[in-house]
Chains A and B, each alone.
Chain A
């Protein structure tokens, strides 16, 4: 494949991405301000409730990221829609998902210490979330195993779909098993928070979703640039071999 056929990606979406980044930053700043200084302490949890304006959005974004990675993997495996950008999208989304899963675990642990009296308990929700984190770390490691692009992309897509099986298990674990962890605060048709607390939580969900989109877009662009670098390196190596064959 020549350089002309696989050109370096241009910075076309630069302005839109910067605007998205600025909006996400303002949203996160507003969430932090409302969460820390404006909303009242909870009757039962006191000031610890403030952690719940950021912890559930972390978990939501992780689920969203794995959903996008799973969908992109499915589209890559589907013969009619297979394309390198779906592989790139899956990898970018899964990496951001791993960051948010890690933050879900850490922020949950920080909340759990004063609430449950322990940094970690082998609760079904926590255990399946930790498993999710490890599964997608494995997926990211698998993506780094060298090989033909399509072979690597295909096996990564299969691994992403297998790992995604754990997502609904994590979500429904509080219903399926006896769990220390509370049930979702917002469910279809019913919410357990109101007023400024509800708006702050909603703003947290929206703002961190925007952060996810911004991070994923940058990770996608980086992956595309890295592929181009690899292609260029391959071209140089082939040219050197050809030159050696002619002169030798």
Chain B
């Protein structure tokens, strides 16, 4: 196989893999910090209030 081809696939798959893992890990950590319910308790939160963040909230 051509080394350029191998490098191209490695960069794409490596970057997307790392980004995916980091996103899922950050989401899980944030969910733990706020104590948000997981799938088992998800139904209890179904009546969550309006989707409106307060003034001053950053992204």
Chain B contacts for A50, CB-based, 8 A = 2, 5, 9
Q: Would you call A225 and B49 a contact (CB within 8 A)?
A: no
The reply to whether A149 and B57 form a contact with Cβ atoms under 8 Å apart is yes
B32 to chain A, nearest CB (A): 10
Chain B residues near A154 (CB-CB < 8 A): none
Chain A hits for B48, CB < 8 A: 7-10
In the complex the two chains form, is A225's CB within 8 Å of B27's CB?
Answer: yes
Please name all residues of chain A whose beta carbon is closer than 8 Å to the beta carbon of B13 when the two chains form the complex: 28, 32
Q: What residue in chain A is nearest B30 (Cβ atoms)?
A: A225
How many Å lie between the Cα of A216 and that of B45 in the bound state? 23
Q: CB within 8 A of A113: which of B4, B44, B49? A: B4
**A6 to B57 alpha-carbon distance, docked (Å):** 12
Determine whether the beta carbon of B55 is less than 8 Å from that of A149: yes
Majority SS of interface residues in chain A? helix
Could you say which of A101-109, A125-133, A175-183, A195-203 contacts chain B? A101-109
User: Within 8 Å CB of B1, what residues of A?
Assistant: 36, 47
Chain A residues touching B, range: 35 or more
| Residues 43-73 of A contacting B (Cβ, < 8 Å) | 46-48, 50-51, 54-55, 58
Q: A10 contacts which of B12, B16, B33, B46 (Cβ < 8 Å)?
A: B46
Question: CB distance B49 to A230 under 8 Å?
Answer: no
A47 and chain B: residue at smallest CB distance: B2
CB neighbours (8 Å) of A85 from chain B are 51
- Indicate if the CB atoms of A46 and B45 lie closer than 8 Å: no
Q: Which of A143, A218, A225, A232 contacts B24 (CB 8 A)?
A: A218
B5 surroundings in chain A (CB, below 8 A)? 36, 47-48, 50-51
* Residues of chain B lying within 8 A (CB to CB) of residue A9: 36, 45, 48
- A221 to B24: give the CA distance in the assembly, Å: 10
Chain A nearest CB, measured from B42 CB (Å) = 4
Chain A interfacial positions (CB closer than 8 Å to B): 1, 4-12, 14-15, 28, 32, 35-36, 46-48, 50-51, 54-55, 58, 83-85, 88, 91, 99, 102-103, 106-107, 110-111, 113-114, 143-144, 146-150, 152, 211, 214-215, 218-219, 221-223, 225-232, 234
- Name the 3 nearest CB pairs between A and B, nearest first: A8-B36, A10-B45, A7-B48
Pull 18 A–B residue pairs with CB atoms less than 8 Å apart, ordered by A.
A4-B49, A6-B52, A6-B54, A7-B48, A7-B49, A9-B45, A10-B44, A14-B38, A32-B13, A48-B2, A48-B5, A54-B8, A91-B59, A149-B54, A222-B30, A227-B57, A230-B53, A234-B57
